[in-house]
Amino acid sequence: MNSFGRVFRITTWGESHGPALGVVIDGCPARLPVDDNDIFNRLKLDVPDQELGTPRGEKNRFQILSGVFDGMTIGTPISIIIWNNDARPESYSGGRDTLRPGHADYTWLKRFGHTDWRGGSRASGRECIARLAAGAIALKILEKFGVSIKSRIIEMAGIEVTDAKSMENARDKALEIGKTGDSTGGAVELIISGLPAGTGSPVFAKLHADLSSAMFSIGGIKAVQFGVGTEVSAMKGSELNDSFDIDKDGEIFTETNSCGGILGGISTGDDLTIKLSVKPTPTVLIPQKTVDIREKKQKTVKYSGRFDMNFVPRIPPVAESMTAFVLVDHLMLSGIIPTTKLQPES
Amino acid sequence: MNSFGRVFRITTWGESHGPALGVVIDGCPARLPVDDNDIFNRLKLDVPDQELGTPRGEKNRFQILSGVFDGMTIGTPISIIIWNNDARPESYSGGRDTLRPGHADYTWLKRFGHTDWRGGSRASGRECIARLAAGAIALKILEKFGVSIKSRIIEMAGIEVTDAKSMENARDKALEIGKTGDSTGGAVELIISGLPAGTGSPVFAKLHADLSSAMFSIGGIKAVQFGVGTEVSAMKGSELNDSFDIDKDGEIFTETNSCGGILGGISTGDDLTIKLSVKPTPTVLIPQKTVDIREKKQKTVKYSGRFDMNFVPRIPPVAESMTAFVLVDHLMLSGIIPTTKLQPES
Amino acid sequence: MNSFGRVFRITTWGESHGPALGVVIDGCPARLPVDDNDIFNRLKLDVPDQELGTPRGEKNRFQILSGVFDGMTIGTPISIIIWNNDARPESYSGGRDTLRPGHADYTWLKRFGHTDWRGGSRASGRECIARLAAGAIALKILEKFGVSIKSRIIEMAGIEVTDAKSMENARDKALEIGKTGDSTGGAVELIISGLPAGTGSPVFAKLHADLSSAMFSIGGIKAVQFGVGTEVSAMKGSELNDSFDIDKDGEIFTETNSCGGILGGISTGDDLTIKLSVKPTPTVLIPQKTVDIREKKQKTVKYSGRFDMNFVPRIPPVAESMTAFVLVDHLMLSGIIPTTKLQPES
Amino acid sequence: MNSFGRVFRITTWGESHGPALGVVIDGCPARLPVDDNDIFNRLKLDVPDQELGTPRGEKNRFQILSGVFDGMTIGTPISIIIWNNDARPESYSGGRDTLRPGHADYTWLKRFGHTDWRGGSRASGRECIARLAAGAIALKILEKFGVSIKSRIIEMAGIEVTDAKSMENARDKALEIGKTGDSTGGAVELIISGLPAGTGSPVFAKLHADLSSAMFSIGGIKAVQFGVGTEVSAMKGSELNDSFDIDKDGEIFTETNSCGGILGGISTGDDLTIKLSVKPTPTVLIPQKTVDIREKKQKTVKYSGRFDMNFVPRIPPVAESMTAFVLVDHLMLSGIIPTTKLQPES
């Protein structure tokens, strides 16, 4: 349940406040150049906005422990460890016996017989750091095959984001509400370009079905849309259908892209577009009613401690990673990305 | 890619215009009473609205070929075959060389090197009949464990559906547009009740991630939402968070249910709610531009033949089936539903 | 648990005395020519020796219900059904309450809460007929890629088989013992030729690990050996190691083949050799002690009814099928056999 | 391909001469007491015989990095890292361009486009250290459910081992041959006691099929036998079949155990017995012919460096680990071992 993928497969481990987190990437072909900078450049995206985001001072010190030798993957599992140098379990102990509303404390209690009072365990956003590390590898593979993934915030704190100015307004709004101790949400869009037509499968391994599962595996995502998404409900077939045309090289293409680059679970070759709705951070610094599981009664609690006013800026890099895992996997399954080696030995 | 599930696992087969379709259910425990009526009652939900839906006159004659003996499952795979008695491949042959806009013809051509001119092959809605048959078994298991799934149309042809009267208006609108040769879409809601708290897993096998993949595996779904869904983007944490309370028996519950019955990928014990956006039928009877793959040029085509004015009414039963597969699987994985036998031998 | 394979995946269903048995083959690429004769020619191998084998008069009437159109696979699951025209459950009812020694009656009772008194259910050798059908497809794929599988009986009824004469002696011995109501076993060898060097994986998906699991999935196999097999225990490294040499085209090869074509779980390019030890048929027509589960006491029983004096001749075709599934799967995983289509559309 | 298991699943990583090796255990239930001693006691079994085995001076310093908190598993993946403090890649560089006979150098070259001249990479016996660590957890779970696994050497250097004296003779023989620079093999037996009747599955996930795959995943195993194994070939059914009897508590049992505790892939409740044939170490210190891949010609080479005269003593602990993984997995699949938590929270 902590693994993702079929032939390109990642397994993540580590709790938010344990000594380290990590990932094992299985199925990466040999002879992909990889160095520490590839990983470093993705890990630094983890908290892109220090004011809105968590003040946790992680340095994200990491090591590649296997699978890479002399700057090149060798076909064995790539194990990457990221040390938690700023884990402070004791800072959470105030809330040890109360279930944090909007968090997974209660559902973990029912599932595993305990809550991890150190701060969310693997239900914490911190878990995603391992996905960022693995994403560096998957994105590098995709790049070699001409596939790129772009993502951006399209809504924050109730304000639509279309340009730099609206982004600034949205951020101001999120900070303003954040200063009252409350949190805000938003929405993110992903655009995948360069994906060959014919990627994906019919029926149960539809490309967008796998992508949706990837997106919902990220904490805080409550809706996933492809193409025009929820708008389809009120459209006519004649409006939604994308006409086909053919260029002078005999390449078929869709004149429009309402379908979001996918028909029947298989890519059309046009941009594949995804929209994610991100909930406001469940931790807020205002009084809330909850249950104390020792005293077995309802209480009003007010948390202090670490607080992301808005974690929407943390979604794009992890959503890109998850998207990349799905794409590499499908491109391997359809034979476009080799599973054994990317180039012969020099 | 035609199998779904981990320990409770279905495999479907069959093309829209082949001789038959079917399903193999693997992992059903022994000693569940099953008879033909269980299957029959689900298959008859396939085309609930003969006016809006396809005029295809399927009788859905079926046989249970294995896994059930003397009215009881025996722990071996349950194979169900549904004969296509109204498959008329020749009725499609007019469009043999043109790619139908909004359909998977083009993407299948790129994936498999051919299009199935007989009418959609396994990208056809007809493929779902096998899921209905298997759903009968999964729903029967869930019923024994007190879990129920209800679904209803909440939007059709652009009209919100809240009661019988608005449903009638929406249907009238869909028929009116349908008579012009155009199609319409809508939206469907599912409500799962009685699911024990603690069902699901953290990280990659989150209950709602698996459910989303199940929902998007159904043709024509373009958005999936849990709980308040897309509304989270503009909400504050203090508004969204559901307070916990405890009853006199010591049972913890959420006072509200904005989270839609899921926190951290694990059920809270409250109703789990899902919303699906359903696209208008891609087949419309009005002229469209597309490409003729023999002549390698763009053409305007106008289809005749079978035509679902609106296929939203066909979504609820298959969405219930897919939901049931995910729930049985997760309840087996968490040990609540036995994997071997449901009762000792009498 | 009734599926086998990763990307080339078969699912079998059906009980020995139900109306039919069958298989769904998922992951077969499009555009492989397949016709009924391919299946027919494999099914007729099921009971190659009517005197030694079961007198069950199966005609093995079958239908390909999906996945093949106009004599060509289309990339969708291939469903094949084989009708049981000679299922006579009533002929077993004498033994309804007694556990047959050497059979799976008792272990099924513990696993599923019942025994299938109709005659072994899916623990019967009859289950293998579905594997023969699917094997026809897998073998046809392998043939296109130059890989062949040969198998032969190397021991029967305690007599080593090296040529036609010793085969005749062994068969006479088996018949002689069979006429006393007792059964005999034997051993089978498989030789795989033409497998490209580099097929397989390190660690847990070693080629021979997957092959062993395939072989032991066949009823009655109690030992599996690769290369010189059990002889390694008493050999020295200097005797066992195969020296490498290189030919004038730069191709490396092993001068000998003690390793049986596998080193480190990956093929060397030389013949891959497997030996299987096959137990005598558990059904014998002489008195045996067992337990009556209704009367809950030990009894001496003497079975009549169908009886394979020796089922070793039935092992080669099913062992070839299982071997073929493993090889196709691994050759797809290493990119040598395409997963989507075998040739472009004509 | 570096993961093993269905619901109890381990993933190993690390090369023989990289900085570390490790394992991630996914699916371990919460609330199993685990401490460093559990791991330590298994790791120290790695080289039980310093004279016969490798002189590599590993301290096997390890850390449990996740999944355990306050001495108790918490239901999240357990990540264990074992540092290589005695990795000396440079000591191998003499043989950098020559393919070691009997090793996986050549097959890796074909699979991954390179050989790992540092000494076997993941084809090295060193890879098993991660399996020993994970085995500590699996064995501890089994112990709670009354299942024990014993293993012992039954043959070494061509001498059958039945008691302490024959073991001594065999070891002397292995040392004597070892001192000439040559290596020897042997055989190992495993006996599993306390396994509940009804564990396992029919058809493709037969308990012994999974066990065989587990055993062959260990480097150097060339034959696997269950019960009387290869002897079945020459036995009659009346000799092999184990009679059933019933005790006064109504428990059914087999009077003998020729079947080795398994019928139809499902356990009988009696001891399950496995025999493994272990090849002699491929590295020998006497001249061998092989190919130099730079010079592209055959050469005679004589290795020096680390050398296991006989690695049979290293097989029992890793075979016990692999057996334990299969058993925990099957006992979880049949609902006997819980997947979520082993005990409620105190």
Q: Render pLDDT for C224-241 as a digit per residue (tens, 0 to 9).
A: 999 999 999 999 999 999
0.85 surpassed by complex ipTM: yes
Partner-chain contact D13 A77, CB within 8 Å: yes
For residue D39, being part of any structural domain is answered with yes
Report chain B residues whose CB lies below 8 A from the CB of A101.
241-244
* pLDDT value for B119: 66
Partner-chain contact A339 C339, CB within 8 Å: no
Range of the domain at B110: 3-333
Touching subunits for chain D (3+ Cβ pairs under 8 A): A, B, C
Does residue A93 carry a pLDDT above 70? Answer: no
Of A122, A183, A242, the CB nearest to B101: A242
Partner-chain contact B7 D333, CB within 8 Å: yes
Partner-chain contact A110 B198, CB within 8 Å: yes
Of A212, A222, A296, the CB nearest to B227: A222
Of C213, C291, C297, the CB nearest to D210: C213
Q: Which three-class secondary structure string do you get for D30-42?
A: ECCECCHHHHHHH
Report chain B residues whose CB lies below 8 A from the CB of D340.
198, 334-335
> How is D93-150 classified by DSSP, letter by letter?
GGGTTBPPTTSSHHHHHHHHSS--TTT-GGGSGGGHHHHHHHHHHHHHHHHHTT-EEE
Report chain C residues whose CB lies below 8 A from the CB of B77.
2, 11-14
Partner-chain contact A108 B266, CB within 8 Å: yes
Of A101, A252, A265, the CB nearest to B242: A101
* pLDDT value for C93: 47
For residue A308, being part of any structural domain is answered with yes
Comparing alpha-carbon positions, the chain A residue that sits nearest to B280 is A237
Which token pair is D47? 């080289």
CA distance D33 to chain C (A): 28
Partner-chain contact D77 A13, CB within 8 Å: yes
Per-residue pLDDT tens digits for A62-88: 999 999 999 999 999 999 999 998 766
CA distance A35 to chain B (A): 27
CA-closest candidate to residue D18, choices B303, A63, C177: A63
Per-residue pLDDT tens digits for B83-134: 998 766 555 545 678 999 999 999 999 999 888 767 678 888 889 999 999 9
CA distance B191 to chain A (A): 16
Of B230, B235, B263, the CB nearest to A230: B230
For residue D148, being part of any structural domain is answered with yes
Does residue A110 carry a pLDDT above 70? Answer: yes
The CATH number given to whatever domain includes residue D284 is 3.60.150.10
Q: What is the CA radius of gyration of chain C?
A: 21
CA distance C239 to chain D (A): 9
Interface test with C, best of A11, A74, A333 (most C CBs within 10 A): A333
Comparing alpha-carbon positions, the chain C residue that sits nearest to D294 is C250
pLDDT, averaged in runs of 10, over chain D (346 residues): 96 94 98 96 87 78 96 96 77 71 93 79 90 98 98 98 97 96 98 97 96 98 98 98 96 96 97 98 95 94 85 97 98 96 79
Per-residue pLDDT tens digits for C57-113: 778 899 999 999 999 999 999 999 999 987 665 555 456 789 999 999 999 999 998
Amino acid (1-letter code) at residue D28: C
Q: How far apart are the first and last CA of chain C?
A: 39
Average pLDDT of chain D is 93
Per-residue pLDDT tens digits for B272-319: 999 999 999 999 999 999 999 999 999 999 988 668 899 999 999 999
Distance between CA A184 and CA A162 in Å, rounded?
Answer: 18
Rounded average pLDDT over C138-160? 98
For residue A41, being part of any structural domain is answered with yes
Interface test with C, best of D15, D176, D216, D292 (most C CBs within 10 A): D216
Which token pair is A283? 């931790």
For residue C346, being part of any structural domain is answered with no
Report chain C residues whose CB lies below 8 A from the CB of B121.
74, 76
Q: How far apart are the first and last CA of chain A?
A: 39
* pLDDT value for A44: 92
For residue C344, being part of any structural domain is answered with no
Average pLDDT of chain C is 93
Of A76, A202, A333, the CB nearest to C339: A333
Q: How far apart, in Å, are the Cα atoms of B248 and each of A292, A296, B161, B251, B253?
A: 14, 10, 38, 7, 11
Confidence tier at A241 by pLDDT (50, 70, 90): very high
Touching subunits for chain B (3+ Cβ pairs under 8 A): A, C, D
3-state secondary structure of A238: helix
Per-residue pLDDT tens digits for C20-51: 999 999 999 999 999 999 999 999 998 778 88
Report chain B residues whose CB lies below 8 A from the CB of C116.
69, 74
For residue D193, being part of any structural domain is answered with yes
Distance between CA D79 and CA B74 in Å, rounded?
Answer: 40
Touching subunits for chain A (3+ Cβ pairs under 8 A): B, C, D
Total residues found in chain A within this entry? 346
For chains A and C, count residue pairs whose Cβ atoms are closer than 8 Å: 23
- Give the torsion sign (CA, A77, A83, A88, A90): positive
Number of domains in chain D: 1
CA distance C75 to chain D (A): 24
Does residue C346 carry a pLDDT above 80? Answer: no
Of A6, A202, A338, the CB nearest to C335: A338
Q: How far apart, in Å, are the Cα atoms of C326 and each of C196, C209, C337?
A: 14, 10, 13
Partner-chain contact B14 C66, CB within 8 Å: yes
Per-residue pLDDT tens digits for D148-168: 999 999 999 999 999 999 999
* pLDDT value for C87: 62
Percent of chain D with pLDDT over 70: 95
Of C11, C19, C114, the CB nearest to B11: C11
Partner-chain contact D237 C184, CB within 8 Å: yes
Comparing alpha-carbon positions, the chain C residue that sits nearest to B340 is C112
Does residue B2 carry a pLDDT above 70? Answer: yes
Partner-chain contact C113 B69, CB within 8 Å: no
Of B76, B198, B333, the CB nearest to D7: B333
CA distance D258 to chain C (A): 9
* pLDDT value for C51: 86
